[in-house]
Structure 1
Amino acid sequence: MDALADLLEGVRARSAAFCRTVLVPPWALRIADGATLSLASPLHGHTWFIDTGPQAGTPIRLGPGDVCVVTGSRPFIVADDPSTQPEVVVGPGNVLTTTDGAPADLPDVDAATPGATVLASGTYRVSGDVGRRLLDALPRVLVVPGSDMPTTVTELLAAELAEEQPGQQLALDRLLDLALISTVRAWFARPEARAPGWYRALGDPVVGRALRLMHSAPAHGWTVAGLAEHAGASRAAFARRFRDLVGEPPLTYLTSWRLTLAADLLDRTDRTVDAIAREVGYANGFALTSAFTRERGVSPRTHRASRPARLERADVTAVGS
């Protein structure tokens, strides 16, 4: 595993919902399903992405094969034209209502209808500290042109969505993951992306190897000297290069990653603090508690006890955004 793989693993399609929609102008949908990560791509025709809220940017036109990724639960609009006003709201669970809250439905339209747009979309409900690290590395909206995407991704999506087949949901889940991975990679390769230091460092033959080692075996007793030896560099040269590329010292990065893993395990499992401590690289629960409290201001037990309140706040934000 590497840093990107670990973060993408935290948001993979077990929490996803995939949808194929055929729409004929004029049309506009307000997406307010509370998902914290959304992906949309016109397989045929075009669509406009219109953000909402005080920090909304200008509308963005998406053509066939272009992929748009949206982070955060604030609602947004997809439409045939920026001037078209939404009459249908897509809520949690893909429940459709009118803007007044009455039940709604979309017309049953054939994809071959002249002027139709075939829109593929997927949503993830990202939870946990690992998933949030990915969200923090991405802007509110990113768009990757179809020319920068592997053509097989959109072709496979179009083929899978053309008709119902056995095992289709599993296939769509995997294709959604593949589309997300390809889009994030393509985005970080663009100059305007300002990729985080840990991502840029993955391509470095010295620091990239050290990052992969830390992510593959976070519980190992890594030292700067040990990482430098595995990376084929002197201790001083390695430490300097790591800080220059990643933006922090190697063991500071390792501590942050271990505590991120610990926070996720506290939220997702009933394991004891002692067991979690050993799994992420601490000798015992006392050592984890000391590090966790120092870095996060609360103990592991307090963090775990606050989980229901944190989830409730997240749901309120998603619904009320």
Structure 2
Amino acid sequence: MDVLSDVVALLRTGRPRSARIAWRSPWGQRFPSVPGSAGFQVILQGSCWLIPPSGGEPVALGTGDVVFFPHGHGCALADSPSTPPAEPPCDPLEDAELFVSDSVGNHGPLTVTLCGGYRLDPRHSHPLLADLPEFVHLPARPGHHPELRTAVELLGSEIGAPRPGADTVVLALLDMLLLYILRAWFEELPAPVRSTGWARALTDPAVSAALHAMHRAPADPWTVRSLAAEAGLSRAAFSRRFTTLTGRPPLTYLTWWRLTLAADLLHTTDAPLSEVAARIGYTSEFAFANAFKRHHGIAPGKYRRQSGAGIDGHTTSQGT
């Protein structure tokens, strides 16, 4: 698996939620801040205004625009900046349904939005997400991010007129949408920003080669020398470049990634601790348990009991 796919696969927990809402002006709606979540708003038809989470200047949104809130911050949408948002706030994650469709408002011009939310596991938060701003606005522009636009259209269609198999399709599309949003954001960054941090790390040939090697085979006995060989650099040059772009030395990142995978395996499978240790590169269950406790502050067995093994009903295959 590539790095971005791994980030999404391990970060999201449980089932996402989504809603297709037809608004008739005048209307306004507040969406609350939900720590430990991420959300999005897509304008399927018409236009509206975004009142940013921090209370900054309102942002005009048009058909096809996508807004992503990676840190769970709240916001408001309205037909006009002067329309007060309705209370109480609307939290799509509170709804038990995977998706809903509704109509709200009066008799004025129509705006149709698609909103959604993802529960995130803070224990698996990847450092690249820290680079994301309060919200990401991806305006609709012809020829830009066609995959994202297609996913939006398909998702809106499935929710607006559900057919047999819609649950499976919507779940897949929501994950696709999250990946396409992150990909589009990295691609939209101005050149000076794209040349630093994780935006650069994911596209830098040397660093991305080492990252993909670690994510592809976390159990391999990686050293700085062998990772530098994957990157095609000397050990010193590779270590400097990797640390500068990711904020962590190569083996520090590798340890973090292995123990993040271990936490996911303990949470989603009933594999014995010895097997979990082997799958992430530890030859000794004792060494694994010590490393896990140092990193997570809790012994792996206790972590499993507290998190509930297999509660999400799936078994991860990373590291095999």
Q: What TM-score do you get using the length of structure 2 for normalisation?
A: 0.79
The one-letter code sitting in structure 1 at the alignment partner of 2:268 is R
Give unmatched runs, 5+ long, in structure 2.
309-320
| Partner in structure 1 of residue 179 of structure 2 | 181
Query: In 2 relative to 1, CA 26–108 (structure 1 residues): closer, same or farther, beyond 3 Å?
Result: closer
| Partner in structure 2 of residue 136 of structure 1 | 130
| Partner in structure 2 of residue 268 of structure 1 | 268
Query: In 2 relative to 1, CA 14–80 (structure 1 residues): closer, same or farther, beyond 3 Å?
Result: same
For residue 164 of structure 1, give the secondary structure of its aligned residue in structure 2: coil
> What is the CA deviation profile of residues 269-314 of structure 1, one whole-angstrom value per residue up to 9, with x for unaligned ones?
4444333222212122321232233344444345446548xxxxxx
Percent identical residues:
39
1:40 aligns with 2:36: no
| Residue 246 of structure 1, CA deviation | 2.5
Alpha-carbon distance in 1 for matches of 2:12, 2:154: 18
Contact 2:21 / 2:104 at 8 angstroms: preserved in 1? Answer: no
Alpha-carbon distance in 1 for matches of 2:50, 2:128: 22
Query: In 2 relative to 1, CA 192–29 (structure 1 residues): closer, same or farther, beyond 3 Å?
Result: farther
Contact 2:20 / 2:160 at 8 angstroms: preserved in 1? Answer: no
Query: In 2 relative to 1, CA 259–200 (structure 1 residues): closer, same or farther, beyond 3 Å?
Result: same
| Partner in structure 2 of residue 26 of structure 1 | 26
State how many pairs are aligned: 295
Query: In 2 relative to 1, CA 108–62 (structure 1 residues): closer, same or farther, beyond 3 Å?
Result: closer
Query: In 2 relative to 1, CA 251–186 (structure 1 residues): closer, same or farther, beyond 3 Å?
Result: same
| Partner in structure 1 of residue 311 of structure 2 | none
Contact 2:26 / 2:105 at 8 angstroms: preserved in 1? Answer: no
Alpha-carbon distance in 2 for matches of 1:296, 1:207: 26
Alpha-carbon distance in 1 for matches of 2:280, 2:57: 44
1:152 aligns with 2:153: no
After TM superposition, the structure 1 stretch with the greater mean CA deviation from structure 2, 17-26 or 67-76, is 67-76
Alpha-carbon distance in 2 for matches of 1:299, 1:136: 27
Query: In 2 relative to 1, CA 294–19 (structure 1 residues): closer, same or farther, beyond 3 Å?
Result: same
| Partner in structure 2 of residue 208 of structure 1 | 208
For residue 21 of structure 2, give the secondary structure of its aligned residue in structure 1: strand
For residue 205 of structure 2, give the secondary structure of its aligned residue in structure 1: coil
| Residue 155 of structure 1, CA deviation | 3.4
1:49 aligns with 2:25: no
Alpha-carbon distance in 2 for matches of 1:194, 1:271: 42
Query: In 2 relative to 1, CA 194–126 (structure 1 residues): closer, same or farther, beyond 3 Å?
Result: farther
The one-letter code sitting in structure 2 at the alignment partner of 1:277 is A
Contact 1:41 / 1:62 at 8 angstroms: preserved in 2? Answer: no
Alpha-carbon distance in 2 for matches of 1:193, 1:10: 29
1:164 aligns with 2:162: yes
Question: In angstroms, what is the RMSD of aligned CA positions?
Answer: 3.2
| Residue 38 of structure 1, CA deviation | 0.6
| Residue 119 of structure 1, CA deviation | 0.4
Give unmatched runs, 5+ long, in structure 1.
96-104, 309-321
